[in-house]
Structure 1
Amino acid sequence: MSGAGFPTSKDIYLEVNGKKLAVVESYKAKAVRESRYVEAFGEQEPVGTVAGRVRHIIELGRIYATDAAIRDGVSFFNLTSFNLVIVKPDRRVIYSGCEWSDILESVTVGDVVAERVTVVAAKRMELI
């Protein structure tokens, strides 16, 4: 772990089958729950709520392909069913079953970086 307890680009990365494909400079994670009200006949107010499915949406900033991924010809546009791993001081957060939904490229010639990639993850788990 590098830094003073905060994740760095060495601690945030994309992987497929345990193989690191790219390092990530920054991220923003958002969890959205599709909850709904429980209505009862004759009641003015809902009598409760029911939790629905959780969706994980993560915006990644400045993604750099590893040398091995470049040699293997990996393209962010072809990436599917990958994991996002975030190593924190006390735990590891893994978003699995990831698919990209938005890619913004802003690079110079010869640079192998995607400026911003938004991914949706099927699952989030924390390992201590």
Structure 2
Amino acid sequence: MTQFAAGANSGVYIEQDGKKLFAVQSHRISESETSKDVHGYGSSESIGQTSGARQHTITIESMIANDYADDTMPAYLVLRQPGTEIVRYIGQWKTVFTGLRFSNYDESGNLESANESITLIATKRQDFFKGKPVSTTQAVAALGR
């Protein structure tokens, strides 16, 4: 059985059509959910809330191309193509973020090095355990996120 520290990733990749194009070295993933208050007829008091859409914000700060060919497309362009996914592996768990929408690109550097940061919004999260789909609720309970 694979052992891993709580919160550790086995790997995070930028994939397209099942091929690992970039290995992500530094990243941040956050999730938010919109909610709406429900009011009773004629009442100003809230009687409950309804859940809205979930949004996953992914910021990638450091990545390495798995294939160093001269014609390797830059990550910020690959991430704008249909079929591109951000995939996180933790032991036998796999989380796939799809429906990527480009949000922000930032680059800074000098003659010796360059740093880039790419922020994306994913509209869909799918979780798998041992290759079989599981609910996000089950994955969050098992992984703590």
User: Which category of TM-score, normalised to the shorter sequence, fits these structures?
Assistant: 0.7 to 0.9
Contact 2:98 2:122 in 1 (8 A): yes
Give the CA deviation at 1:31.
1.4
Contact 2:3 2:91 in 1 (8 A): no
Q: Write the letter of the residue equivalent to 1:74.
A: M
The CA distance in 2 between the partners of 1:89 and 1:67, in whole Å, is 24
SS at match of 2:76: helix
Residues 1:101 and 1:61: Cα distance change in structure 2 (over 3 Å): same
Q: TM-score, normalised by structure 2?
A: 0.71
Identical amino acids, percent of aligned pairs: 24
Give the CA deviation at 1:64.
1.8
Q: Write the letter of the residue equivalent to 1:12.
A: V
Q: Write the letter of the residue equivalent to 1:67.
A: D
* 1:2-81 to 2 correspondences below 5 Å: 4-5=4-5, 6-7=8-9, 11-68=11-68, 70-79=69-78, 80=80, 81=82
Q: Tell me the equivalent position of 1:88.
A: 90
Write 1 or 2 for the structure with the bigger share of strand.
Answer: 2
Q: Tell me the equivalent position of 2:101.
A: 99
The CA distance in 2 between the partners of 1:41 and 1:31, in whole Å, is 32
Give the CA deviation at 1:4.
4.1
SS at match of 2:46: coil
Q: TM-score, normalised by structure 1?
A: 0.79
Task: Please list every run of 5 or more consecutive structure 2 residues that lacks an aligned counterpart in the other structure.
Answer: 130-145
The CA distance in 2 between the partners of 1:4 and 1:49, in whole Å, is 37
Q: Tell me the equivalent position of 2:136.
A: none
Residues 1:110 and 1:23: Cα distance change in structure 2 (over 3 Å): farther
Number of aligned residues:
123
Give the CA deviation at 1:26.
2.3
Give the CA deviation at 1:43.
2.5
The root-mean-square deviation of aligned C-alpha atoms, in Å, is: 2.5
The CA distance in 1 between the partners of 2:110 and 2:73, in whole Å, is 19
Q: Tell me the equivalent position of 2:132.
A: none
The CA distance in 2 between the partners of 1:7 and 1:44, in whole Å, is 46
